[in-house]
Chains A and B, each alone.
Chain A
């Protein structure tokens, strides 16, 4: 068996990469892609724990399914917002939406 830690490290690296993408990208689409990456990393984490530690019960797998569904719905919503932003500001860079400030 591959040791569990390998999966966790993989999940951690993916999550960190996604986090970096959310924080450091200007384009809204890229931020969404990074969020998806974080969600994927979390799913790997849950599935790994379910497969290695849970035995007969596999609640982690069920949770991963939920994550996929929620991710899909969320992306649909988010792309709708991005589309609106693009129509207002003619750009999809997130720093265009800064009018709610002091």
Chain B
């Protein structure tokens, strides 16, 4: 576990090599990226075994974490300002590592098929490797500044990959939008980090947690600091109001969407809050903000996904909504439920994205209006996509059921009743829009005959990752009952105990409760069938019955227009005032005015030079007289 820093080092080395010389290597070095990733997956297995042996089986104890300090980077004032490189491995890290590495491996293998023949093929793998390196560094970081470094690293990789097809104006703008929106959050994160450092003098996460628990901070100060930290998490994890970048981020290649915007980068915010949750438990106001932001986002995004017409957009809204679920869990203090949902969501969401990529690759179409009836032409894709959808909707034995049920259960226990009702309704909405997507894409009559004829099943290099992820989407939920799950802190089963932020609580399945959740999901699926089966007459009718509501969802609650108006009137308005000041006051009055004044003086004073000797003689005489008066006056 001391050498866990090797994990990010491998993909980073791949990035450097591919970034510099990918044109000189055969096949642009894609095999290097895949092999590197496979090596990381294997090494994660070693770390897992090491972790299991390290704490006498007590690895789900909250104090079970290995803090490895590697070296001091900058040390000012003998410890006053210390930037060090440190790693920390605990149960949360052990959830993130396999998720990141395995999904990345699946995506990389899939990309070899999907990106075949694209220009800048080598750079694609370089940027993906950079991303994985930064993400791995993020999850093993032991101090906040290193985390922030990795945070910015994943943001950069995201920018590079969203803007991969930068010849397309919309892609370039989407990349810009993603980076700027997350940057706004990142400023908050940095302010939060600085605020925490100011009081504790340290960036080390464990030290800060202990300081907070010891009561070093004043309540208000800590609340504000944690709210700033959450701003960063909200930006990166696309929560309201900073969610606007994620739907547009679908401009990037589909495997990128699967990796970055479904499974890994967007969960960085969830990871951060989960890591710092002991501190959030000290300031419940901040934790409540997390809860309600997640709740609002989950519901809003579900409504927007209901009317979206591009497959990837629907999945993007679904991701935002599911991230909201995770934040709701964190908001009631249920770390295990949130991390569990992160775990399962990564598998089925990336599966769904890769499946959609398979459809796009085959038909060259993304809009649902051009698809339909594809299950006959692409059976494997349809099958795996359906499995992913069942997991997303929360149907029992599939992975999503277990984690979503856990979240709803914890919310019902520890949160307000109306919040539980709203989240349950959102879960129902999830089932509805998921069914809609599956029906419109794979069933019914094909809407675009040309695309339909052109469609074919994807090559094995793409379908094998799909099948692997589908099998995980099926069984990943059952880790609660197994020893494997124990490693991740998901010790479950009836009567077992798992630690959530310090207080043991029973991770047991309440069957009545689960039944209610399942019933909601099935009801959602039934509604989906009723409205969208066949030629979807009922759906068209419903749309005409409430057009403003439909528009509200379709236009994403007009938030993009709102932000644009703010930029146009607020920011550009302010900048035009500043520009006026710079032009009129500083330049014309100050600079030009100064020169003009000197010129004016010269114009007037030149008349002193008459050229007449008597005038000069008078001048001399007067000058001497003045000097004499001054000289005599001062003696």
Question: Is B634 an interface residue when CB atoms closer than 8 A count as contact?
Answer: no
Question: Known contacts A19-B621, A23-B621; is A95 also within 8 Å of B607 by CB?
Answer: no
The closest CB in chain A to the CB of B618 belongs to A23
Determine if A100 and B611 form an interchain contact, defined as CB atoms under 8 angstroms apart. Answer: yes
The closest CB in chain B to the CB of A97 belongs to B613
Question: Hey, which chain B residues are within 8 Å of A19, CB to CB?
Answer: 621
Q: Chain A interface residue count: which class? A: 10 to 19
Please pick, from B609, B613, B614, B618, the residue contacting A102 in the complex, using a CB distance under 8 A. B609
Determine if B621 and A100 form an interchain contact, defined as CB atoms under 8 angstroms apart. Answer: no
Question: Is B119 an interface residue when CB atoms closer than 8 A count as contact?
Answer: no
The A18-67 residues at the B interface (CB cut-off 8 A) are 19, 22-24, 26, 31
Question: Known contacts A19-B621, A23-B621, A102-B606; is A94 also within 8 Å of B611 by CB?
Answer: no
The A45-91 residues at the B interface (CB cut-off 8 A) are none
Q: Could you tell me the distance in whole angstroms from the C-beta of B626 to the nearest C-beta in chain A?
A: 15
Question: Is A5 an interface residue when CB atoms closer than 8 A count as contact?
Answer: no
A101 to B615, CA, bound (A): 12
A95 to B614, CA, bound (A): 8
A40 to B94, CA, bound (A): 109
Interface centre among A94, A99, A102 (most CB of B within 10 A): A102
Please pick, from B610, B614, B621, the residue contacting A94 in the complex, using a CB distance under 8 A. B614
Determine if A101 and B611 form an interchain contact, defined as CB atoms under 8 angstroms apart. Answer: yes
Question: Is B168 an interface residue when CB atoms closer than 8 A count as contact?
Answer: no
Q: Could you tell me the distance in whole angstroms from the C-beta of A34 to the nearest C-beta in chain B?
A: 10
Question: Is B454 an interface residue when CB atoms closer than 8 A count as contact?
Answer: no
Q: Chain B interface residue count: which class? A: 10 to 19
Question: Hey, which chain A residues are within 8 Å of B613, CB to CB?
Answer: 94-95, 97-98
Q: Could you tell me the distance in whole angstroms from the C-beta of A93 to the nearest C-beta in chain B?
A: 10
A101 to B613, CA, bound (A): 11
A26 to B615, CA, bound (A): 12
The closest CB in chain B to the CB of A95 belongs to B612
Question: Is B598 an interface residue when CB atoms closer than 8 A count as contact?
Answer: no
A97 to B612, CA, bound (A): 7
Question: Hey, which chain B residues are within 8 Å of A98, CB to CB?
Answer: 610-613
Question: Hey, which chain A residues are within 8 Å of B606, CB to CB?
Answer: 102
Q: Could you tell me the distance in whole angstroms from the C-beta of A91 to the nearest C-beta in chain B?
A: 13
Interface string of B593-615 (1 = CB under 8 A from A): 00000000000001101111110
Question: Hey, which chain A residues are within 8 Å of B611, CB to CB?
Answer: 97-102
Q: Could you tell me the distance in whole angstroms from the C-beta of B152 to the nearest C-beta in chain A?
A: 65
A79 to B609, CA, bound (A): 25
Determine if A100 and B609 form an interchain contact, defined as CB atoms under 8 angstroms apart. Answer: yes
Question: Is B631 an interface residue when CB atoms closer than 8 A count as contact?
Answer: no
Determine if A23 and B614 form an interchain contact, defined as CB atoms under 8 angstroms apart. Answer: yes
Q: Could you tell me the distance in whole angstroms from the C-beta of A43 to the nearest C-beta in chain B?
A: 18
Question: Hey, which chain A residues are within 8 Å of B607, CB to CB?
Answer: 102
Q: Could you tell me the distance in whole angstroms from the C-beta of A42 to the nearest C-beta in chain B?
A: 13
Q: Could you tell me the distance in whole angstroms from the C-beta of B5 to the nearest C-beta in chain A?
A: 80
Determine if A101 and B610 form an interchain contact, defined as CB atoms under 8 angstroms apart. Answer: yes
The closest CB in chain A to the CB of B609 belongs to A102
The closest CB in chain B to the CB of A22 belongs to B617
Question: Hey, which chain A residues are within 8 Å of B617, CB to CB?
Answer: 22-23, 31
A23 to B609, CA, bound (A): 17
Question: Hey, which chain B residues are within 8 Å of A101, CB to CB?
Answer: 609-612
The closest CB in chain A to the CB of B603 belongs to A102
Question: Hey, which chain B residues are within 8 Å of A94, CB to CB?
Answer: 612-614
The B316-342 residues at the A interface (CB cut-off 8 A) are none
The B287-304 residues at the A interface (CB cut-off 8 A) are none
The B546-601 residues at the A interface (CB cut-off 8 A) are none
Interface string of B44-70 (1 = CB under 8 A from A): 000000000000000000000000000
14 A-B contact pairs sorted by A residue (CB < 8 Å): A19-B621, A23-B614, A23-B621, A26-B614, A31-B617, A94-B612, A94-B614, A95-B612, A98-B612, A101-B610, A101-B612, A102-B607, A102-B609, A102-B611
Which residue numbers of B lie inside 8 Å of A, CB to CB? Answer: 606-607, 609-614, 617-618, 621
Among all A-B residue pairs, the 7 with the closest Cβ atoms? A101-B611, A98-B611, A102-B606, A94-B613, A100-B611, A98-B612, A102-B609
Which residue numbers of A lie inside 8 Å of B, CB to CB? Answer: 19, 22-24, 26, 31, 94-95, 97-102
